[in-house]
Amino acid sequence: MKIIAIYSSKGGVGKTATAVNLAYDCARSGKSTLLCDMDPQGAAGYYYRIRPKDSFHRKQFLKGDLAPFIRGTDFANLDLLPTHFSFRNLDIALEDRGGSAKELKKVFAGIKDDYEVLILDCPPNMTLLSENIIIAADMVVTPVIPTTLSILAFAQLVKLTDKLEVNRKKLAAFFSLVDRRKNMHSETISKFGKKKIFLTTEIPSLADVEKMGIHRQPVAVSAPTSPAALAYNQLWLEIWRRSMQL
């Protein structure tokens, strides 16, 4: 099972939109896929119209007791592990368990033969949970809005990866919410986009992505021929190709 984390310490950069759409494209390509909603805001579950079971709690999650809580989606090959309100304290719980950055890897060990791909929709922070995510993931995909603060968050992620002595090749960034009419976006992309760590696919700022909140479906379902659906599919193909080279 390949673990692909959609992670950024910054909020609102498009992590959930990306996780939801990539999970759909991954499943559509025939791979058995699990989308794990690690953010207590529960947006990924919301987009797939799935509510968590009340009995699910971070205690079960941390014990790796996942199977009873995994739910099917409306789509072939795609399951979802919903979040729970108690996940807001996952960091504290990880600290209480000894503060190791290797706990999350163990959490997913029990389902490693059940899925080909596990996609994590991560909450926006830079904590012990983030360290666990970076260690557990085979690939950490980070959306970067082409602006100063998003680039700063990206630089901090590279620093954290180095601190954890994790191979930088695990990281892949892409430009998210791109508006080429803005000089700052174009200039930032020309300055940083050539770095190997950046994927070539950009996800533009598009109304169809925002409307996912109304349709509660991946864009490839609500607007199959839209530029948004095509952009996410291209991003998925690029991520998958890169993950095969690792």
Ligand X SMILES: Nc1ncnc2c1ncn2[C@@H]1O[C@H](COP(=O)(O)OP(=O)(O)OP(=O)(O)O)[C@@H](O)[C@H]1O
Which spans of this chain sit near ligand X (rule: CB under 6 A)?
11-17, 39, 41, 43, 124, 177, 203, 205-206, 209-210, 213
* Partner touching 135 among ligand X, Mg ion, none, CB below 5 to 8 Å by kind: none
Nearer to ligand X, 132 or 142 (CB): 142
CB of 145 to ligand X, least distance (A): 9
Q: Which of ligand X, Mg ion, none lies near 17, with the C-beta cut-off 5 to 8 A by kind? A: ligand X
In the bound complex, what is the minimum distance in angstroms from residue 12's beta carbon to Mg ion?
8
How near is the Cβ of 125 to ligand X at its closest, in Å? Answer: 9
Three-state secondary structure call for residue 245: helix
Q: On the CB side of 183, how many CA atoms lie within 13 Å of its CA? A: 0
Amino acid 79 reads D
Instruction: Centre a 10 Å sphere on the Cβ of residue 244 and count the other Cβ atoms it contains.
Output: 8
β-bridge partners, 34: 79, 118
Please, which residue, 4 or 177, has the CB nearer to ligand X? 177
Alpha helices in the chain (DSSP H): 15-28, 43-47, 58-63, 90-96, 103-109, 128-136, 148-163, 183-192, 207-210, 212-215, 219-222, 227-245
Closest CB to Mg ion: residue number: 16
Of residues 16 and 130, the one with the C-beta less far from ligand X = 16
**Out of ligand X, Mg ion, none, which partner does residue 13 contact, by CB within 5 to 8 A per kind?**
ligand X
Spatial CA neighbour of 217 closest among 52, 118, 74: 74
67 versus 149: smaller Cβ distance to Mg ion: 149
Q: Look at residue 103 and give the partner it binds from Mg ion, ligand X, none, a contact being a CB closer than 5 to 8 Å depending on partner kind.
A: none
Sites of contact with Mg ion (CB under 5 A):
15-16, 43
Partner interacting with residue 222 (select from Mg ion, ligand X, none; CB below 5-8 Å by kind): none
- Least Cβ distance, residue 44 to ligand X (angstroms): 8
Residue with smaller CB distance to Mg ion, 109 or 205: 205
> What residue 206 binds from ligand X, Mg ion, none (CB within 5 to 8 A, per partner kind)?
ligand X
| Helix 148-163, helix 128-136: angle, nearest 10 | 70
Contact 172, 149 (CB under 8 A): no
Q: In the block, which residue shows the tokens 């968050």?
A: 153
**Closer by beta carbon to ligand X, 111 or else 206:** 206
| DSSP per-residue codes, 33-67 | EEEEE--TT-HHHHHTT-PPPTT--HHHHHHT--G
User: Distance between CA atoms of 19 and 137, rounded to whole angstroms?
Assistant: 14
CB 129, min distance to ligand X, A: 13
